[in-house]
Chain A
Amino acid sequence: MYARILLVNSRDTLGDMIRIGYAAFMREISDEKLMQRYAKGDAKAFDQLYARHRAPLYRYFIRQVNNPATANDLYQGAWEKIIKARHSFKPKAPFKVWMYRIAHNHLVDHFRRMKPEEPVEPDTLSDRHSDPSKDAIKNEQNELLRAGIGALPVDQRNTLLLKLESGLKMEEIAKVTGVGRETVKSRLRYAVNYLKRSLVE
């Protein structure tokens, strides 16, 4: 009886150890390896990959459109594209660059589909976030920053969010957006100066 309990406990412990070891192993693996594993059929690798990038990617979308419903659609659509394109991933390029390029293209498609009067206007964004009930809850500086980011032109906002959310280098952002490095730097400079001014004012 005791031997049986001991056997069951030891088996459970061994199972836990294996699970913990596997999870630790997964945490250590690079994004590129995880994506390769997922492309070969390891669904757990995708779980790990998703856990790593879900929040930054979601913020990238929601701070672009400032509309949770649209952001949800864009976010899900981007992940669907990543899942479909899993076999086309080449480990030579960093996974982040590949993933944000898909997300960026998805977003650009979204903006193209929108009617000309629909694009997010800085004034509209500022008005939307001047809700007194929200202002009361949130920090004033954060709200100003959020409104300032929303008020930026699309290209500058896109470049800034890629820099802030993904932590990509200028060259990588250039690859994602399909422009030159100097263009990225220029857009960032304009965005930073605009936000500085708006925050000071």
Chain B
Amino acid sequence: MQVIWQGETIPIDLSFMEVVNTRSGEQVQLCYHCHKCGAGCPIASFMDYTPDKLFRMAQLGLKRQVLSSSTIWLCSACHTCATRCPNDIDVTRVMDTLKEMALEEKIKSRQKVAALFHKGFLANLKRFGQLHEASLMAVLKLKTLNLFSDLKLGLKMFLRGKIALFPKRIKGRKEIRKLFKEIRRRGKVPQES
């Protein structure tokens, strides 16, 4: 079977969906495209495909198109879709799986900032055991060299006490690191490149 995509004929790899299923533990073929996930997604308007459309592409085995979509990186993992899905698909888990696969496949994302954010987020978490917004922001700004964006919002949040100056370290930092190590040992998260 072939899909004709913007004039290009793409042979379909139906095993792609099976890989996604196995790795995410979800059943992507259950999606019957009611669009409820896309309808409630706070970020849907910024995505190139809504989650259900992305799932459809996964069902058709359009691997490259799925892994290079902005959707998988823009997903903020708010779980709204996963809570609402009538077929009980944990969309967020599938998105995470797709992010991992995109990294493995070294597919250049059009959402570099989002990718950097995700990486910085995890590194921050590993270090402090809980998120320290200020240092995450600093890292992100240095990496993107976009120093002055969101300054106003940042200041507002700081004045309201939403951004702590110094990180709070939790007691169980060792356990958190162990968790990271264990997950990496199981080979579920690719090495940061």
Partners in one complex: no
